Chains A and B, each alone.
Chain A
Amino acid sequence: GENVEQHPSTLSVQEGDSAVIKCTYSDSASNYFPWYKQELGKRPQLIIDIRSNVGEKKDQRIAVTLNKTAKHFSLHITETQPEDSAVYFCAASYSGSARQLTFGSGTQLTVLP
């Protein structure tokens, strides 16, 4: 089955700096890669996703890049703000997969004021 590794497990940045979280996946059939943000005590919420026919996707301060050859994808947050502090999870799945998402272990991002 699919295995998703996520790094780093914790990340601290100064407000206004950029943050990058990286994930690698094992199954070359995976073609859908969402990122979820989970604030303390809350449910995971989708923030951005990318499909394998696209190399990069951007939504305001958030972007995701995908390298299918190397089987890794990354979340980029620019101009970080204190409200970006949360746990971020990457995930992978492939079309037709009944099991759907396999999640990474999460990254605790702290944005220091």
Chain B
Amino acid sequence: EAQVTQNPRYLITVTGKKLTVTCSQNMNHEYMSWYRQDPGLGLRQIYYSMNVEVTDKGDVPEGYKVSRKEKRNFPLILESPSPNQTSLYFCASSLAPDGLSRQYFGPGTRLTVT
């Protein structure tokens, strides 16, 4: 089954404790992206990747890191989480980085930083 998976689905952590949220897709998609969703603000892009070893900042990259060592995986790293990073995070992928391809979303990761 074609899908985007994320882990963990729920995470409660404390300020400053490094964490990684994994994202994986099995559709051989070139493009992958991370969004955060906050009430009233819609989905805001954090980072995106056009292909392996090609990543760039989205609208709200501060406090986040990403890597794309393999085509299927695109982990999101919070080196020193803070309470303002409490949010719902979605990973997404699309076939081509052409701006015209349908994006497929993962199930989401709800992160709480205390």
User: Which A residues are within 8 Å of any B CB, using their own CB?
Assistant: 1, 6, 9, 31-32, 34, 42-46, 49, 51, 89, 93-106
List the 5 closest A-B pairs by CB distance, nearest first. A97-B99, A43-B105, A105-B42, A103-B42, A103-B43
Q: Decide if A105 touches B41 in the complex (CB within 8 Å).
A: yes
B107 close to A93 (CB less than 8 A):
no
Since A32-B99, A98-B48, A99-B45 are in contact, a sample of 14 more A-B pairs with Cβ atoms closer than 8 Å, ordered by chain A residue number, is A9-B40, A34-B102, A42-B107, A43-B90, A43-B105, A44-B43, A44-B90, A46-B103, A49-B102, A99-B48, A100-B31, A100-B103, A103-B35, A104-B42
Interface presence of B50 (CB below 8 A): yes
How far does the Cβ of B77 sit from chain A's closest Cβ, in whole Å? 20
B100–A43 CB distance below 8 A: no
Q: Is the CB of A101 within 8 A of B103?
A: yes
Our pick among B59, B97, B106 for the contact of A43 (Cβ within 8 Å) is B106
Residues of B contacting A43 in the complex (Cβ-Cβ under 8 angstroms)? 90, 105-108
Cβ contact within 8 Å between A98 and B56: yes
Contact A93 B100 (CB under 8 A): yes
| CB of B94 within 8 Å of the partner chain | yes
For residue B44, which residues in chain A have a CB less than 8 angstroms away from its CB?
Answer: 103
- Cα of A46 to Cα of B97 in the assembled complex, Å: 17
Most buried by B among A46, A95, A104, A105: A105
Give the shortest distance, in Å, between A61 (CB) and chain B (any CB): 20
